[in-house]
Amino acid sequence: QRRGIAADRLVFAERVDPSEHLARHRAADLFLDTFHYGAHTTASDALWAGMPVLTKLGDTFASRVAASLLTAIGLPDLIVQTAEQYEELAVALATQPAMLAAVKARLEENKWSHSLFDTIRFAENIEAAYLRMWEIYEHSGTPEHFDVADSRSSAGKGP
């Protein structure tokens, strides 16, 4: 309330069946990722449902997953560096409906054009990696570093 957000806009939901849980994501405006140990599958579910995720980049794997997801879906502007930036952006998105609508529109568009939810692209790329690993094994048997060219690099700007 001190930040101008009405208390009735915050809803803490009870546990429900997973399908109901995923369906109610559409009723939320914004997913606030926690610091230190952020969301993993839950953030991915939120993005798929069209709910933007705000995250603060951390120093550990567990605190960087949501940032990886946001990068892969082309929304790096929802990744902040400090707690102050996190609060400022959360308040801005909560109090500026046009800003939130623009982010949601980009999220919906990017779901179909970026790598995060492109399972065919993922399968093609991991298959190429497996084939390359096998070639290396057959040739020398010694592990080595290699890169896999994105099978659809022109389809989006995700990693």
- Predicted confidence (pLDDT) per residue in 118-144, tens digit: 999 989 999 999 999 999 999 998 999
Same domain, 105 and 141: no
Same domain, 105 and 43: yes
Beta strands 31-32 and 79-80: pairing type? Answer: unpaired
Whether the predicted model's global pTM rises above the 0.95 cut = no
Reported as a pLDDT band with limits 50, 70 and 90, residue 156 is very low
Domain that holds residue 157: 118-159
Same domain, 39 and 100: yes
In 3D, which of 81, 1, 75 has the Cα closest to residue 31? 75
Same domain, 95 and 45: yes
Reported as a pLDDT band with limits 50, 70 and 90, residue 1 is confident
Residue 69's domain is classified under what CATH number? Answer: 3.40.50.2000
Number of domains forming the structure of the chain: 2
Same domain, 36 and 104: yes
Q: What is the pLDDT of residues 9-34, one digit of tens each?
A: 887 889 999 889 888 888 899 999 99
How far is 30 from 53, CA to CA, in rounded Å?
Answer: 6
What phi and psi values does residue 79 have, to the nearest 5 degrees? -105, 120
Is residue 39 in some structural domain?
Answer: yes
Same domain, 107 and 157: no
Is residue 90 in some structural domain?
Answer: yes
Alpha helix ranges (H) inside the chain: 18-24, 41-48, 65-72, 83-95, 97-113, 119-139
Residue 13 gets which letter from DSSP? P
Is residue 95 in some structural domain?
Answer: yes
Same domain, 73 and 86: yes
Q: With H, G, I as helix, E, B as strand and everything else as coil, classify residue 108.
A: helix
pLDDT of residue 9: 80
Instruction: Return the structure tokens found at 26.
Output: 């559409």
**Model confidence at 151: pLDDT above 80:** no
Same domain, 95 and 126: no
Is residue 19 in some structural domain?
Answer: yes
Q: What is the pLDDT of residues 57-104, one digit of tens each?
A: 999 999 999 999 999 999 999 999 999 999 999 999 999 999 999 999
How far is 108 from 83, CA to CA, in rounded Å?
Answer: 27
How far is 144 from 98, CA to CA, in rounded Å?
Answer: 49
Is residue 49 in some structural domain?
Answer: yes
